Amino acid sequence: MADFGLNRGGFALVFRAAAAAVLPNNFLQRPDSGPRWGEWLHDVVLVGGGVMGCLSALELLQAGCRVTLLERGELGREASWAGGGIVSPLYPWRYCDAVSALSDWSQGYYPPLADALLEQTGLDPEVHACGLLWLDHNEQDQALSWAAQHSKPLQPVGADFIYRQVPQLAEGFAGALWQAGLANVRNPRLMQSLRTRLMQFDAFTLHEHCAVASLIRDGAAVVGVESQAGRIEADAVVLCAGAWSGDWLASVGLGLPVEPVKGQMLLYKMAPGWLPSIVMAQGRYAIPRRDGHILIGSTLEYAGYDKCTTGQALASLQASAVALLPDLAAQAPVAQWAGLRPGSPDGVPYIGPLSALPGLWLNTGHFRNGLVLAPASCRLLADLMLGRTPEIDPAPYLPDARLTQHAL
């Protein structure tokens, strides 16, 4: 098995993964007696409770590990809650192969994940395969070349198709690119169902409103965290802290070029089915939910950790909404909010171990594509941590060389 910083207790982690199928369900459950929970040895600590933290936890729990997840606020209430939930990069042909590899794997994962979560929790993440129209088609050659390379059902369409598919669109669109079956997921409900699923595992511990103060070190090795919940030792610590990851690593002397990038969104309410498909033009999109809610997004603002909504963004997003769907001019938005993305230089996430701090792992830096890249990213992380043969080539995502390249 490859040794990626799991020297301390690594055998135990892999043993539990192999033994999970034959041991009783309560084998990994913390006993009622013995050390207080703050002193208990947990296999893996995850820092950050967004979609990366939750799906990483699910992967590790299903492999037989014990997992403690620490979230500085409320589980699933940051970027994973605030985004639009399109299960694709906005303009996928603009991204490098490393992003496409994660996206391609993840897109096929969401429908069965949603079915399983609905069955296990009774909460439907609402994966809605409604298709997407890209109305600015000046990159058609590049897009179609990308689609052929990745076997995507992307096709150029004319005005007749556009207005049959989305009669509510503003006039004047002569051509577009159409991908049938492309889905969106209702991310707040996805996070609710993931939370419910994780809480069903005896081997899972959640601490919300729990900031991490520092790493516990044994020489160079990371062997746990000091947190508001106390001292928690672990075989491995995984940083899934999204927009906060860069500053978090800076506190231990490492430069990770991940910074907060604010995105503001609007929500409208129309009749169910009023907008049949996702539409996008000039970087702005309208996403239909099954119950008639329409999401309009989003801004791209470098404003530090400020999550305040603004009148300027409201006016800009309303103008984009009406430019796409003129009937929305007569409707007032029912909500406006902001979230913080983990901005990174090229949108390629950092997934894997840090040799400078053995025992510390990263799964962060997904920028605008956290939701769509999460299933593949978390599977890759689990494969590496558990010594399994990765289903995705890990080379483009491993942090060490890239941290040197982008050192602060």
Residue range 80-96, pLDDT digits in tens: 999 999 999 999 999 99
Phi and psi based region of residue 386 (left: phi greater than 0; alpha: psi -120 to 50; beta: remaining): alpha
Instruction: Give the whole-angstrom CA distance, residue 291 versus residue 274.
Output: 9
Q: What pLDDT was estimated at residue 214?
A: 94
In a domain, 91, yes or no: no
Q: Are 223 and 289 contained in the same domain?
A: no
The DSSP code for 141 is: H
Query: CA 20 → CA 14, 62, 150, 408, distances in Å?
Result: 10, 9, 36, 42
Segment 3-18 mean pLDDT: 33
* Environment class of 252 (CB within 10 Å of its CB; exposed 0-12, middle 13-18, buried 19+): middle
The residue among 193 and 9 whose pLDDT is bigger is 193
In a domain, 241, yes or no: yes
Bridge partners, 132 (sequence order): 179, 278
Last residue within a domain, chosen from 343, 358, 374: 343
- Choose the weakest-confidence range: 17-21, 58-62, 136-140, 194-198: 17-21
Q: Are 252 and 263 contained in the same domain?
A: no
Last residue within a domain, chosen from 317, 343, 369: 343
In a domain, 299, yes or no: yes
Segment 231-255 mean pLDDT: 93
Q: Max CA-CA distance within the chain?
A: 71
Q: How many domains does the chain have?
A: 2
Q: Are 169 and 38 contained in the same domain?
A: no
The pLDDT tens digits of the residues spanning 35-52 come to 222 333 358 999 999 999
In a domain, 327, yes or no: yes
The pLDDT tens digits of the residues spanning 274-333 come to 999 999 999 999 999 999 999 999 999 999 999 999 999 999 999 999 999 999 999 999
> Considering the chain, what is the average pLDDT of its residues?
88
Q: What pLDDT was estimated at residue 404?
A: 52
Among residues 87, 98, 84, 78, the alpha carbon closest in space to that of 293 is found at 84
In a domain, 46, yes or no: yes
Is residue 205 over pLDDT 60? yes
The pLDDT tens digits of the residues spanning 380-402 come to 999 999 999 999 999 999 999 88
Q: Are 307 and 393 contained in the same domain?
A: no
Is residue 179 over pLDDT 90? yes
Q: Are 63 and 148 contained in the same domain?
A: no
Instruction: Give the whole-angstrom CA distance, residue 386 versus residue 345.
Output: 29
Q: Are 265 and 253 contained in the same domain?
A: no
In a domain, 394, yes or no: yes
Residue type, 383: D
Q: How far out from the chain centre does Cα 269 lie?
A: 26
Q: Tokens 């620490």 — which residue? A: 70
Q: Are 176 and 266 contained in the same domain?
A: yes
Q: What pLDDT was estimated at residue 36?
A: 29
Q: Are 203 and 69 contained in the same domain?
A: yes
Q: If you write DSSP's letter for every residue of 329-382 in order, what string do you get?
A: GGS--SEEEEEEEEE-SSS--EEEE-TTSTTEEEEE--GGGHHHHHHHHHHHHH
| Whether pTM exceeds 0.85 | yes
Domain span at residue 375? 10-79+190-257+346-405
Q: Are 339 and 351 contained in the same domain?
A: no
Q: Which residues contact 231 (CB under 8 A, 6 or more apart)?
A: 38, 39, 216, 224, 225
Q: Are 267 and 339 contained in the same domain?
A: yes
Q: What pLDDT was estimated at residue 136?
A: 85
Q: Are 166 and 195 contained in the same domain?
A: no
Is residue 3 over pLDDT 50? no
CATH number (domain holding residue 215) = 3.50.50.60
Among residues 240, 248, 243, the alpha carbon closest in space to that of 53 is found at 240
In a domain, 120, yes or no: no
Q: Are 279 and 332 contained in the same domain?
A: yes
The residue among 188 and 138 whose pLDDT is bigger is 188
CATH number (domain holding residue 274) = 3.30.9.10
Both structure tokens of 372: 């769509």
Q: What pLDDT was estimated at residue 42?
A: 54
Within 10 Å of residue 177's Cβ, how many Cβ atoms? Answer: 22
For strand 230-239 and strand 360-364, is the pairing parallel, antiparallel, or unpaired?
Answer: parallel
In a domain, 118, yes or no: no
Last residue within a domain, chosen from 324, 343, 362: 343
